[in-house]
Amino acid sequence: TYNKINTFDFFRQRVYKLESAGHDPTDLVQAFARSVEWGDKIPIGLFYRVEHPTYEDLEEVLTAGPLAHQPAGLQGKTDLLDEFV
């Protein structure tokens, strides 16, 4: 490589895993503080995690399974359609 300062040995001496340092990945403030560390210690690993429902969990149509496996056409909307026809 062209960088003769930040070599493999440079990183091997400084890098540490956040999990082994007792880092809490649910703490946003601590995640930001760890993300700016650089110098004698360089953290690697999971900085921040937050649990959110997936898109499939939020989309009501997908609760019956993938769209490709569902029958095509309107279902359950006939009362509304009859009102306008």
Domain assignment present for residue 75? The answer is no
Summarize pLDDT for 54-85 with one digit per residue, the tens: 988 898 888 888 889 988 876 666 777 777 77
Sorting pLDDT into bands at 50, 70 and 90, what band is 1? low
- Domain limits for position 14: 1-65
**Average pLDDT of the segment spanning 11-35:** 95
Quickly tell me which residue has 């082994």 as its tokens: 20
Domain assignment present for residue 73? The answer is no
Domain count, the chain: 1
- Rounded to two decimals, what is the model's pTM? 0.61
